[in-house]
Structure 1
Amino acid sequence: MLELRPTCEHCNTPLPPDALNARICSYECTFCAECAETILGNVCPNCGGGFAPRPIRPARNWKNGNCLANDPASTTVKYRPADLAAHAELHARLADVPPQLR
């Protein structure tokens, strides 16, 4: 189950469980849409993968207890701003490779 990390790893913007601007890679590296799209160019600085909108866990128990009350979001902040110089090199290598082929 996704951790639903509470903030953007790069700029530390709060990303509550229902945030529509949360983006994740396949390793759950979590960034706000602004950082993922504008600053990082859809290349995760940690793994090189692409980003997708983070799913929103139901706040209400619609079925079988699958909700935030039973499976709360993480409170552990992973604030580790990207090294933008190093990321520029990674981005240059991967920018023309679609995320599904990386």
Structure 2
Amino acid sequence: MLELRPNCECCDCDLPPESPLARICSFECTFCASCSEQKLGGLCPNCGGELMVRPRRPGNKLADNPPSTVRVNKPQGCSTGREG
């Protein structure tokens, strides 16, 4: 089951479970749409995998299957030289 991590690893912005702005790779590294597109060129800086829109868990399933509360922040990993 997806962890649904609560924040962007680059800029640390909040990404609640219902956010359409969350992007993940196959290892569930999590980024916001802005960092994914503008800083990372759609590729995970950790594994090189493609960043895709994170699926949203239906609200009625969150009580029994809560999102993660563990924040991961690695801003140094977001300086990949892909910027503009």
TM-score scaled to structure 1, two decimals? Answer: 0.76
Higher relative contact order, chain-length normalized (CA < 8 Å, sep 6+):
2
Structure 1 partner of 2:69: 75
Cα deviation digits, residues 51-77 of structure 1 (max 9, x gap): 1100000111xxxxxx10100000000
Structure 1 partner of 2:10: 10
Give the distance between the partners of 2:78 and 2:33, measured in 1 at CA: 18
Aligned length: 81
In structure 2, do the counterparts of structure 1 residues 38 and 14 end up closer, same or farther at CA, with 3 Å as the change threshold?
Answer: same
Shift in Å, 1:48: 0.4
Shift in Å, 1:15: 0.1
Structure 1 vs Structure 2 CA RMSD: 1.0
Shift in Å, 1:83: 4.7
Letter in 2 for 1:5: R
In structure 2, do the counterparts of structure 1 residues 83 and 14 end up closer, same or farther at CA, with 3 Å as the change threshold?
Answer: closer
CA contact (8 A) 2:15 2:21 kept: yes
Percentage of pairs with the same residue: 53
Structure 1 residue ranges, 4+ long, deviating more than 4 angstroms after superposition:
none
Matched position secondary structure for 1:44: coil
Structure 1 partner of 2:34: 34
Give the distance between the partners of 1:80 and 1:11, measured in 2 at CA: 8
TM-score scaled to structure 2, two decimals? Answer: 0.92
Larger radius of gyration between Structure 1 and Structure 2: 1
Note the residue ranges of structure 1 that are not aligned, 5 or more in a row.
61-66, 92-102
Cα deviation digits, residues 29-88 of structure 1 (max 9, x gap): 00000000111101110000111100000111xxxxxx101000000000111251xx22
